[in-house]
Amino acid sequence: MRMSKLVGRRIKEDPKDSVTPSHKLLVRGGYIRMVSTGIYSLLPMAKRIITKIENIIREEMNSIEGQEVLLPVALPAELWEESGRYDSVGDELLRFEDRSGKKMLLGMTHEEAVVHLVRTEVSSYKQLPIMVYQIQTKYRDEARPRAGLIRVREFTMKDGYSFHDSQESLDEYYKKAHEAYVRIFDRIGMKDVISIESNSGMMGGSLSHEFMAIAECGEDTLFVSPDGTYRANREIACADIKFTKEDECELEKVHTPEKKSIEDVSEFLKLKPENTGKVVFYVDIVGNLIVAMIRGDFEVNESKLKNHLGLNSLEFADDELIKAVGAEPGYASPMAINSDKVKIIIDRSVAESSNLVVGANEKDYHYKNFNIGRDLKDVSFEVVDIATVRNGDPCPKTGEPLQEKRGIEVGNIFQLGTKYSEAMGCNFLNQNGKAQPMIMGCYGIGVGRAMASVVEQSHDKWGPIWPMAIAPYHVHICALNPKKEGVKDAAEKLYLEMMNENIEVLYDDRGEKAGPMFSEADLIGIPLRIIISPKTVPENKVEFKIRGEKDSVLIEQDAIIDKVKDIIKGD
């Protein structure tokens, strides 16, 4: 490709309001352009990268017997009504009507569509297991797109769905899919990606893993043990904290005027936050009150609480509701709360500690020396781990301090079970001729997000450093001073020879000065650079430089093609 004709200009300045490296560099390098919030056009070089990522994914999916299909983007609402998700999914599902008033939607995920396909095409245990996948546009009406391609409304996703006649079959395939994912991210050239246990969320089902590209700008927080054996999303992560019981002291009421927060109370009483207990009030969607109690030095993990209660949403309760059950906001404790009306969940940290300071359910008063076994005898409650793990808390597997990291979710795999097949009648006949719902797994990868994640992990201050496997071009030829004797001829000749050898080459034929030409080459980030200039043409040599390395080397013109081919092959 001649750079003089390449669509996609380089931009010197960072785009307004961009924050993350991948956003800045992909825009500045002429890879992506925003059309509307969270909606981007991919320019030719980005399209080349995306195609390469897709092909790697395709090869690996095919290697685990995946069959590629293409399901519709626009779907009838009735399909989603069958699964129940037309109503249960929020505003991120874009709903609309066609000309006749028929309810439609844009697919944000394709369980319904794939079940529609498989339930009519597959009917016998003899055909199972199968996996179908597609690489296709998804639309999600995200509340807040951000960070360039990291969170967008319209994006390309590989989504695969497997169908099984038994849990064992799903387990076996799930493992193979996990291995395929590891290979995919390795081949794409992502440097630091780990799979973690994750929360299944609205997808339903049980076992799930997220593949996280470790990056500063990641939206998820995860905890990893130093040896890597424990890896979990903060939404579900647990820590094995050893609490110690002490001798119980007398319950003592103390005056704590205007001291509502844990900080204020512990400072006022000259205690540490871990000597206190705090109470958080939630309401579920139908208005039931939930009282969560945790030691003052921890935070309630709402997703763990939701998972325990089997709820999709929880909100903080307002003061009216809190007072209605006999508690005093700011001075609340589960003592004397009417436990018929509310569900009381107590974290381990409270159950296994002694002599805590808790509210007295009376303005400006707290109790010292609260002990759950003695002071909560008349109240029914459950003890559950609802604590948010903190950096350095002991790992539940190894006991070593957990490390907190940020990650971009670039892929995930779920065991869906029979949630969709049961709701939508996706059955097969077993060996006894009896109908049974198929057991499903699903497997997603965000393609554009993967590209952005590679940039997050592989760039310097001048631009991206593309891994060879997905680089838009292998080689960038810079013809410096092409008007001088022989330079243009040598560059053109090399360009054509490389094309003949099927080397993917971008050729800067514009005659720019060295400064702009090199800066733009860095900003584009192609792995290999060849500089042809009046300095080296008379000696029949070229300069050769690897992106990300500091110095260039001189190489005979005759030898450069073989050299380049070796590097491309070896990478």
Partner RNA sequence: CGGGGUGUAGCGCAGCUUGGUAGCGCGCCUGCUUUGGGAGCAGGAAGUCGUAGGUUCAAAUCCUAUCACCCCGACCA
Shortest distance (Å) from residue 195 CB to RNA: 15
Site string for RNA, 471-500 (x = CB under 7 A): ---------xx-x-----------------
Using DSSP's 3-state secondary structure scheme, residue 220 falls into: strand
Q: Where would I find the H helices in 440-486?
A: 447-457
Minimum CB distance to RNA smaller for 199 or for 403:
199
Q: Does 522 bind RNA (CB under 7 A)?
A: yes
Binding segment for RNA (CB under 7 A), chosen from 170-178, 258-266, 338-346, 515-523, is 515-523
C-beta of 91: minimal distance to RNA in Å?
8
Q: Is 328 in the site for RNA (CB under 7 A)?
A: no
Beta-bridge partner residues of 357 = 276
Nearer to RNA, 96 or 243 (CB): 96
* Position 214 contacts RNA (CB under 7 A): no
Of 137, 172, 167, nearest to 64 (Cα)?
Answer: 172
Q: Do residues 32 and 149 touch, judged by C-beta distance below 8 A?
A: yes
In the complex, minimum distance from the CB of residue 15 to RNA, in angstroms, rounded to a whole number:
5
Terminal-residue alpha carbon distance, the chain: 22
CA distance 380 to 338: 9
* Between 234 and 348, CB nearer to RNA: 234
Pairing of strands 39-42, 356-362: unpaired
Element (H, E) at 478: strand 475-479
Task: Name the helix (H) or strand (E) containing 406.
Answer: strand 403-417
Look-up of token digits 């198929």 = 438
Q: Which is nearer to RNA, 513 or 569 (CB)?
A: 513
377 binds RNA (CB under 7 A): no
Q: Hey, which residues between 219 and 238 contact RNA (CB under 7 A)?
A: 219
User: Could you tell me the maximum CA-CA distance found in the chain, to the nearest angstrom?
Assistant: 97
Environment class of residue 37 by beta-carbon count within 10 Å: exposed (0-12), middle (13-18) or buried (19+)? Answer: exposed
Helix (H, G, I), strand (E, B) or coil at 538: helix
* Binding of residue 299 to RNA (CB under 7 A): no
Say how far apart CA 359 and CA 251 lie, in whole Å: 12
Q: Is 315 exposed, middle or buried (0-12, 13-18, 19+ CB in 10 A)?
A: exposed
Residues 6 or more apart in contact with residue 433 via CB below 8 angstroms? none
Instruction: Report, in Å, the least distance between residue 118 CB and RNA.
Output: 18
Residues 430-469 as x/- pattern, contact with RNA by CB under 7 A: --------------x-x---------------x-------
Taking CB under 7 A as the rule, does residue 312 contact RNA?
yes
Closest CB to RNA among residues 383, 546: 546
Among residues 443 and 495, whose Cβ is nearest to RNA? Answer: 443
77-136 binders of RNA (CB under 7 A): 90, 92, 108-109
d(C-alpha 426, C-alpha 115), whole Å = 6
Does 157 bind RNA (CB under 7 A)? Our answer is yes
Binding flag, residue 159, RNA (CB under 7 A): yes
For residues 523-562, which are near RNA according to CB under 7 A? 523, 531, 533-536, 543, 545, 552
Q: Is 87 exposed, middle or buried (0-12, 13-18, 19+ CB in 10 A)?
A: exposed
User: Please, what is the minimum distance in Å from the beta carbon of residue 343 to RNA?
Assistant: 18
Phi, psi of 39 (to 5 degrees): -130, 120
In this structure, what token pair is assigned to residue 225? Answer: 């043990």
Q: Which of 201, 326, 401, 548 binds RNA (CB under 7 A)?
A: 201
- Amino acid making up residue 19: V
CB of 409 to RNA, least distance (A): 8
One symbol per residue from 23 to 52: x for binding RNA (CB under 7 A), - otherwise; what is it? -----------x-xxx--------------
Q: Which stretch in 197-205, 239-247, 365-373, 450-458 sits in contact with RNA by CB under 7 A?
A: 197-205
Size of the site for RNA (CB under 7 A): 65
> What is the rounded CA–CA span in Å between residue 18 and residue 146?
9
Residue number, 305 or 346, with CB nearest to RNA? 305
Site string for RNA, 380-419 (x = CB under 7 A): --------------------------------x-x-----
Element (H, E) at 135: strand 130-139
The single-letter DSSP state of residue 72 is: -
Interface with RNA (CB under 7 A), residue from 1, 3, 8, 10: 10
Q: Are 556 and 564 in contact (CB under 8 A)?
A: no
**E-assigned strands of 320-373?**
342-347, 356-362, 365-370
Applying CB under 7 A, among 48, 116, 140, 231 the residue interacting with RNA is: 140
Please give the radius of gyration of the chain, using alpha carbons only, rounded to the nearest integer. Answer: 30
Q: For RNA, which stretch binds (CB under 7 A), given 127-135, 196-204, 240-248, 370-378?
A: 196-204
- Site residues (vs RNA, CB under 7 A): 9-13, 15-19, 34, 36-38, 90, 92, 108-109, 138, 140, 142-147, 151, 157, 159, 200-203, 219, 302, 312-313, 412, 414, 444, 446, 462, 480-481, 483, 511-516, 518-523, 531, 533-536, 543, 545, 552
